[in-house]
Structure formats: C-alpha cells, structure tokens
Amino acid sequence: MSEAEAPPPAATAGRLAGRLALVAGASRGIGRAVALRFAQEGADLILVARTEAGLIEVDDEVQRLGRHASLVTADLTDVDVIDRIGAAIHARWGRLDVLVAAAAELGLLQPLAEIKPETWQRVLTLGLTANWRLIRSLDPLLRAAPAGRAVFVTAAEAAGRAYWGGYAVAKAGLEAMVRTYAGEVAKTSLRVNLIDPGPTRTRLRAAAFPGENPASVKPPEAVTDAFVALSEDGCLHHGELIRLPA
C-alpha cells in the first residue's frame, strides 16, 4: 500500500447523488461529520452507532438537508449484529455503494502489562475484528455496486506508541487487513483505502489529550473532503493510505 496526498476536493455539490453509504460510528466525531457531509453531497445513508439518541440527532440534521437515513442502533463489539445488517441491506437494496468504517475506542493509556483483559478485548474487537466482520458481511454488496468504495479510518499510532496499548495494536492490524483486502479486490471495480485524519477535535482525542486546547486541532468537518473524494464513483485511488495534514 502506498502513501499519497489527500485527494483534492471538488467545488460542486451532489458528488454522491444516488449513492447508498453506510457509516459506522455515525453518532459523533468524524463519523457524524462524514454522514452529514455525505447527505449534503446527495447520498442516502445507513447510519450505525451504539447511541440511539446520538443517531436521532444526526438523522434530524440529515432530514433538514433533504436526505434520508436508515438508523441502526448497534454495539459493533457484538459482531454478529454485523451479519444481520448485511442481510438487511441485501434484502432492501441488493447493493452498497460506500462503506465508511469510523467506529473506534481508545481504551486506557497505560502499559501493556497493566491492561485488563476485558479492556483489551473490547478495543481490539471494535477497532479490528468488527472491521473484518464489516468486510466479510458487506463485500458482496460492495461488489454488486457499479463502483463500490470502502474507506477505513486509521491513525499515526499504528506505527506503535508507548502506552497506547490496544488502540495502537488495533490500528496496526487494521492497516495490514485493509492492505490485504485491497490486494484481493484489485481486479474488481471496488476501491479500498485508508485515511489517517491526523489530530482532529473528537471525544476520543479529548480523552487521550485532556490538557489540550480543543481549538488547537481541526474540527471533524475539516476532514470530510477526503472521504467524499474516496467515495465518488470516479475515484481512482486504491490500496492507499491517505494522510491528512494537521
């Protein structure tokens, strides 16, 4: 997998008109910002998150933008629910144009030897295993679309960082898995990429850096251009890691 500059944004609206996109982790942070931007660009949405109230708030904004969202309240650490989501999409639409996998959990910043097994399991399940289950369940639907696109969210900690424990390990595994998947679908119309959004004003970031001034990092809305570019039917990027500037 090569590293590349962020795809340049286009100035026109409606770049995702007619496309069906599933956003996992859609109730807050980057997932929420991507969902709203996708609605602005004309996509219809399947929004997945653990918090029902958060999903309803996002849906209210989606409706104000004149778009439709199907809401799925689900904790993706219950990985079997992902197969049910895939089956429901198949029964209703028979395809999925875009997958954005933005769900993640930080866990605790502490030495590896001190992490509790249940914390390790939850962080790895959400950050890695759930993404594999999304691939496993949604791959046929993405291949059924004329121009399927899958975008996974990684972080610089994938290179390894002291005290970042399961989060760093999950992101490293995610990058290896997405490289593998991209190679397996290289001869299809499906395009698969990773985005490292860099420092972004999210709840996860605030938990990791409690003394940081939130205004010193960019808001989630600032990273959505790259997600749109990688989700368009004309996107040529494949098997790349897009690193966004700080």
Question: What integer pLDDT is reported at residue 33 of this predicted model?
Answer: 98
pLDDT of residue 11: 39
Global pTM reads: 0.93
2-4, strands of its sheet edge to edge: 2-4, 240-243, 191-196, 149-153, 98-101, 20-24, 44-49, 69-73
Q: pLDDT 10s per residue in the chain (246 long)?
A: 444 544 444 434 699 999 999 999 999 999 999 999 999 999 999 999 999 999 999 999 999 999 999 999 999 999 999 999 999 999 999 999 999 999 999 999 999 999 999 999 999 999 999 999 999 999 999 999 999 999 999 999 999 999 999 999 999 999 999 999 999 999 999 999 999 999 999 999 999 999 999 999 999 999 999 999 999 999 999 999 999 998
What pLDDT score was predicted for residue 13? Answer: 60
Q: Each residue of 163-218: pLDDT tens digit? A: 999 999 999 999 999 999 999 999 999 999 999 999 999 999 999 999 999 999 99
Q: Which of 199, 179, 166 is nearest to 241 (CA)?
A: 179
CATH number of the CATH domain containing 175: 3.40.50.720
- Compute the chain's Rg from CA coordinates: 17
Domain that holds residue 235: 2-243
Quick one: angle between helices 224-231 and 29-40, nearest 10? 60
Domain count, the chain: 1
Residues catalogued as catalytic: 167
